[in-house]
Amino acid sequence: MTIQTVNTVPFAGQRPGTSGLRKKVAEFQQPGYLENFVQAIFDTFPDIAGQTLVVGGDGRYFNREAIQTILRMAAANSVGRVLVGQGGILSTPALSCIVRKHGAFGGIVLSASHNPGGPHGDFGIKYNIGNGGPAPERITEAIFTNTEHLTAWRISDEGPVDLDRIGTSRIEGMEVAVVDAVADYAELMQQLFDFGAIRALFASGFRMCFDGMSAVSGPYARTIIEGMLGAPAGTVINGTPLEDFGGHHPDPNPFNAAELIALMDAPDAPDFGAASDGDGDRNMIVGRGVAVTPSDSLAIIAANAHVAPGYRAGIKGIARSMPTSTAADRVAQALGVPCYETPTGWKYFGNLMDAGLVTLCGEESYGTGSDHIREKDGVWAVLFWLNLIAASGKPVDTIVREHWARFGRNYYSRHDYEAVDALEADAMMVQLRAGAGSLAGTRLGSYTVDYADDFVYTDPVDQSLAQKQGIRIVMTDGSRIVLRLSGTGTEGATIRLYLERYEADPSRHGIPTQEALAELASIAGHLAGIGQRTGRDRPTVIT
């Protein structure tokens, strides 16, 4: 077989977003489009020759074809060994686990996470560094710069690898090892959680429903929850990864996981419900009649970390993305550990974890995790809640209400305006940015503004700076309005409006969330001119 050098010209717009490069499948299928970006990754690392790389994806449409291309390009760029998940499947947390366990140079994740799949859906690719986490901005910018100047890419003309058979083969001088997609990850989970206690919980008649949303976490949940923990067959629904996610929008929130929410609201509901997203790094926790917000889930896990064997010695600190509610801050204060506020994007947690500053991290977009890997981890969060329920003997709703009684309730919601005109969205942010500095002391309805700014983050480890990370309007009582543009969409722009109101009085913890936040939503809409900018009188999705 021979290595071919194919001349090319740059494609516009290959700058990675919050979690890699995400575009419509049709765009990735353009001749040379995927190849250009992959070559730009390899060109960023001149020392990759002879190294080990991990490759896998969430099984969405175009996943297998992309993996075959990446394998032949890796061989042509002198990579020494590639570990690839059986069937081309690896959840994002599992890929991080394998990179770390096997000391790999890095990994390539093929996923658009919670975005829709199928021929007319989305596809994505991102690079993870040797700690198992997403590449930091200095590396993604270097990749982008390479895409702008690329003149050729290299590829072997070797035939396809059998991705369904575990074992080894070779492309040119490179070894390809097809590995069990679940085994290493499941082994790590056994080290963190009390599987004996959880098995006893299921043996007692405890019932659960895990919605895999026809995405990548299904095989992991079946192996661990039904297989290793003894939950009855059928506990996992929608557990087979499908190229179009079975028509599901694989974003685990009450809007998209309507089947699970309806089940948990029914008179004969299981004791516990959970869901995960396209690539397995997000989670939703549901009790009978109650969906736990991601912000509350992070805070509750932090407050109860000691119940899981892997965290029995306590936690070093907590980190949360800026739009995530301040519920975790209150827990950190009670525990006497630091709480770091970062921009949105899991890559910002990596330095904090590597430096030993934090143990637990969370984002409001249904992402929770710990320093066991360097990605958020949907199945991990579900297992923690199972461990907590087993240790406490309490149902989800009781755990949540007792947490609120101790720490207060942070009413919290996100309003998404999807696929809006990008120019209007950008103009809105420019206007807000210009006016933020003059809002301090202003009376807005029944609230008074304490301060307002465009969030800037200085990494405490390497002093790197991230600017223009979202508008914060913080009231004197701790209530907050946050506005930012999403970096994960593929059409137009998505405006994300985050609303938060703190309530210490337990007698006022039962107000419907949108009712409790209605005044803040009205204030935000007026300040930002959302209706005029979008031409809409309501959000696309409320979570």
What three-state secondary structure class fits 11?
coil
Tell how strand 152-156 and strand 122-128 pair up: unpaired
Among the listed residues 113, 156, 295, 365, the single catalytic one is 113
Dihedral, CA atoms, 351, 23, 32, 346, nearest 10 degrees?
Answer: 10
**The residue to which tokens 């204060």 are assigned:** 333
Strand order of the β-sheet with 471-475 is 443-444, 447-454, 471-475, 480-485, 493-503, 409-420, 541-542
Active site residue 479: no
Dihedral, CA atoms, 352, 474, 286, 228, nearest 10 degrees?
Answer: 0
DSSP per-residue letters across 294-349: HHHHHHHHHHTGGGSGGGTT--S-EEEETTS-THHHHHHHHHT--EEEE-SSTHHH
CB-CB contact of 200 with 226 (8 Å): no
φ, ψ (nearest 5 deg) of residue 252: -80, 85
The CA distance from 127 to 138, in Å, is: 12
Burial per residue of 165-187, b for 16 or more beta-carbon CB atoms within 10 angstroms, e otherwise: eeeeeebbebebebbebbebbbe
The CA distance from 75 to 156, in Å, is: 7
- Find, among 67, 94, 102, 72, the residue nearest to 4 by Cα: 72
DSSP per-residue letters across 226-245: IIIS-PPTTSEES-S--TTG
132 half-sphere exposure, CB direction, 13 A CA radius: 24
Token pair of 374 as six digits: 């360097």
Element (H, E) at 19: none
Active-site residue set: 113
